[in-house]
Amino acid sequence: MNNPLRDIDLYGLTSEEHSLGRTNLEVVRTMLDAGIRLIQYREKDKPGRTKLEECTAIRELTRQTGALFLVNDDVAVAQAVGADGVHVGQDDLPVPVVRRLLGPGKIIGLSTHCPDEARAAVQAGADYIGVGPIFATKTKKDVCAPVGLEYLEWVTANLSIPFVAIGGIKEHNIGEVVQRGASCVAMITEIVAKPDIPAQIQALRKAMQQKIKETQS
């Protein structure tokens, strides 16, 4: 599969509990209108029927805008709504099993926290990996300790698999992440918890571009 993260700078995720009273559908529509081209549905505690209904609607929105749509963990929901793929963690279904269920044309991302997990992800056939959490984060309830920028640097230097940096990344530190080689960055509360999502996305992109210019000069 070609790089699924090509031309994706900001990787959008849902988190309704942090969205200031807005629904996932409202937030996703706003993110898409602001130019985000990859949405991951990440609602671990909602009932299956609710997830199916929300993902059906989000799939339609992403299809209309030409954006990629991934579902976190739930392979069945991803299949049911025709999502572009799934993102799984180390304790979820193994990548080869997910591949058998979804087929060869779907995207499979896998969260990794260390070089051994990254190498194993490549061997297992993941299409991209999550690298993190880079910094401390409170968004995820069962999160491991921050891996720091060192792991990000290792991935940049040693692997060719596409990756997204995630975990505690904010406007004030996104430049450090870009400087270490990340071209695709995932954020949750730094986007969905902001009153003006389009303005925040613009500010994040500006910070990323500024650091890219600095590193190239």
Question: Which of the residues are catalytic?
Answer: 42, 111, 140
Please give the DSSP secondary-structure letter assigned to residue 17. Answer: G
- Are 42 and 55 in contact by the 8 Å Cβ rule? The answer is no
Q: Which residues contact 116 (CB under 8 A, 6 or more apart)?
A: none
**For every residue of 74-128, which 3-state class applies, written as one string?**
CHHHHHHHCCCEEEECCCCCCHHHHHHHHCCCCEEEEEECCHHHHHHHHHHCCCE
Calpha distance 76→74 (Å, rounded)? 6
Sign of the CA dihedral with 11 first, then 14, 15, and 18 last: positive
25: its two tokens: 């559908």
- What b/e readout covers 82-96, taking b as 16+ CB neighbours within 10 angstroms? ebbbbbbbeebbebe
Tokens 């450090």, residue located: 176
Rounded-to-integer distance, Cα 36 and Cα 173, Å: 20
